[in-house]
Chains A and B, each alone.
Chain A
Amino acid sequence: DGGITQSPKYLFRKEGQNVTLSCEQNLNHDAMYWYRQDPGQGLRLIYYSQIVNDFQKGDIAEGYSVSREKKESFPLTVTSAQKNPTAFYLCASTDTGDGDSPLHFGNGTRLTVT
């Protein structure tokens, strides 16, 4: 089955450590996205990538970094500069970069930083 795989499902880190969240898709989609979800809030865009080797900042990119070396992979690094990293992180993709394509989401990674 085609889809988006995020790993791990749960991640625990100590404050001051960088951590990388994995996202892989086998949908052959061009565009990929990272969203952050906090309780009682909608999804907020961290970074997105339209094509390989290109990515753009979203609304809350500070303290995060990404890479897009392969079409199917879009890992997100949460750095120690992110002030409130504890959250639910969702990776998504669309078949094109057009705004009228539905987002396909993975099942998320819940990151807890203490």
Chain B
Amino acid sequence: GENVEQHPSTLSVQEGDSAVIKCTYSDSASNYFPWYKQELGKGPQLIIDIRSNVGEKKDQRIAVTLNKTAKHFSLHITETQPEDSAVYFCAASFLRGFKTIFGAGTRLFVKA
């Protein structure tokens, strides 16, 4: 069935370093790939998204890359700050579909 695998499950970095989270998806019909950040006790919030007709997208310190052939997409956070500490979820969905498939999440710790 449809599946999104996310790695690593936990990531610890020093403040100022970069963090990379990787996801793979199984449904080749997927064409929308959002990333969500969830802080403790809150709901997830969209931080960046990418569509299948784009290979890379950047927003300040956050970037996402997509390799449709390999069914891989990744989140890159540069110059990490303590406030980046949270759980990050990747997801995949497709136009005209109501189902968004989520990865299991990555808990990011940024040490000051």
Contact = CB atoms under 8 A, between A and B. Distances in A.
B75 to A, nearest CB: 15
Contacts of A102: 34, 46, 49
A107 B98 contact: no
B16 to A, nearest CB: 28
Contacts of A90: 43-44
B31 to A, nearest CB: 7
Interface string B34-63: 101000011111100101000000000000
Interface residues on B, range: 20 to 34
A107 B105 contact: no
Contacts of A58: 99
Given A42-B4, A42-B89, A42-B103, A99 B44 contact: no
Contacts of B41: 107-108
Closest 3 CB pairs of A and B: A105-B43, A42-B102, A100-B32
Interface of B: 4, 6, 9, 31-32, 34, 36, 41-46, 49, 51, 89, 91, 93-105
30 contacts: A4-B43, A6-B43, A40-B9, A40-B105, A42-B4, A42-B6, A42-B89, A42-B91, A42-B102, A42-B104, A43-B102, A50-B98, A56-B98, A92-B43, A98-B96, A99-B31, A99-B98, A99-B100, A100-B31, A100-B51, A100-B93, A103-B100, A104-B46, A105-B36, A105-B43, A105-B44, A105-B45, A106-B43, A108-B41, A108-B42
